[in-house]
Amino acid sequence: MLVFCFFKGKQVLKLNCFGFKVSAAAQIEIFANPNCTTELSPPHIVVPYGGSFSVNCSTSPTLTEGMGWEASQDGIPLKDGVSFLSLTVSNVTDWKISAQCFSNLKDGEQCVKKLPIAVYKMPDHVSMSLPSLMGPMVEDEEYRLKCGIVNVAPARNVYVRWYKGSQLIQETSNDTSLLPVNMSFDFDLRAQSGDDGTQIWCEASLQFFAPGPKFPPMRSESHELIVFFCLSLLPIIQDKVENQKESEVVLARHLQFPGTYACTVSNERGTRTKYFTVNPAPSKIVIRSLYLSYSGAHYDLAQKKSFSNFLMLLFSVR
């Protein structure tokens, strides 16, 4: 079966062609015109609600009959004989504002260039809430913290970061709303003993096209985490004394006897015990003198010189 659809340049004149629909992406891919050289400067706009912006549209003067701007605010109708046209919006009051530059070519084609526009509003307030009536946290238990962002737009460009001491966790929004909304982000924290005394907070920021404007993040108040945990046994603290040759470990007087000892610590969270064994030091025999009589002479083998004389005598005997 033959199917007929009617186009003017890249513009579909009849979308439903005997029951078949043609997507805009398919049109552009099939009917891309090499004579469409339309350029926008800047290529995209980020503007606060109530703010203003201006953008230029230009194309080839030798190929163009006229230009115009289709926009939801302050559009410009077709102007013949121009290849450069500026759009200025002095007061953005449409959260979903749209604009596109069109140019009519001398060969009967029409080129369209859409302008990406993001209308934003910074948050009124960013706050972090702990679970109500939570009190101190308990080690190894999980707690849900919330970061609240009030009256921000657009939601799809909101980034939230959680800071816990030096630890950073980043979240992005799945909300696609272009209108101002209140947002809430959750962070599930499993309390650890090392979190005790650590500051935690969240911050929200708006991020747009790259390259694009950079806005400072808005930070919530910070909270100090209080975590109840069972004490860990620290390594035994050993006093050391220095001598001329080495360091020697000296145990407290009540630990100088060989045997197995138990160290126990406890608090509200429980009790832990560590066992360690003290072994006797190895025996050390020091020979200070050793006398030997041979052939009527006496030799002290502990003395180097006397021992050498004894060896000379011993090996001189045939």
pLDDT at 209: 74
Helix or strand holding residue 111 (H, E): strand 110-115
Does residue 272 lie in a domain region? no
Count: domains in the chain: 2
pLDDT along the chain (318 residues), means of 10: 41 38 40 81 95 96 94 95 96 96 93 95 92 71 91 93 86 85 91 87 88 87 83 44 43 61 65 71 59 60 57 52
120, 48 contact by CB (below 8 A): yes
Give the residue from 206, 228, 250 where a domain finishes.
228
Cα→Cα distances 69→9, 99, 113, 195, Å: 18, 7, 10, 57
pLDDT at 34: 81
Identify whether residues 116 and 129 lie together within a single domain. no
Identify whether residues 113 and 167 lie together within a single domain. no
Identify whether residues 115 and 138 lie together within a single domain. no
CA 286 from chain center: how many Å?
65
Identify whether residues 224 and 141 lie together within a single domain. yes
Beta-carbon neighbour count of residue 160 at 10 Å?
23
pLDDT at 239: 38
Residue 210: which CATH number?
A: 2.60.40.10
pLDDT at 208: 87
Identify whether residues 114 and 183 lie together within a single domain. no
pLDDT at 63: 92
Q: Which two three-digit tokens encode residue 190?
A: 């499993």
**Can the peptide bond before residue 280 be classed as cis, meaning omega within 30 degrees of 0?**
no
131, 85 contact by CB (below 8 A): no
pLDDT at 5: 44
Q: Which domain does 98 fall in, by range?
A: 39-120
Identify whether residues 68 and 85 lie together within a single domain. yes
pLDDT at 174: 76
Identify whether residues 136 and 210 lie together within a single domain. yes
DSSP 13: S
Give the residue from 209, 228, 247 where a domain finishes.
228
Prediction pTM value: 0.62
Give the residue from 228, 261, 288 where a domain finishes.
228
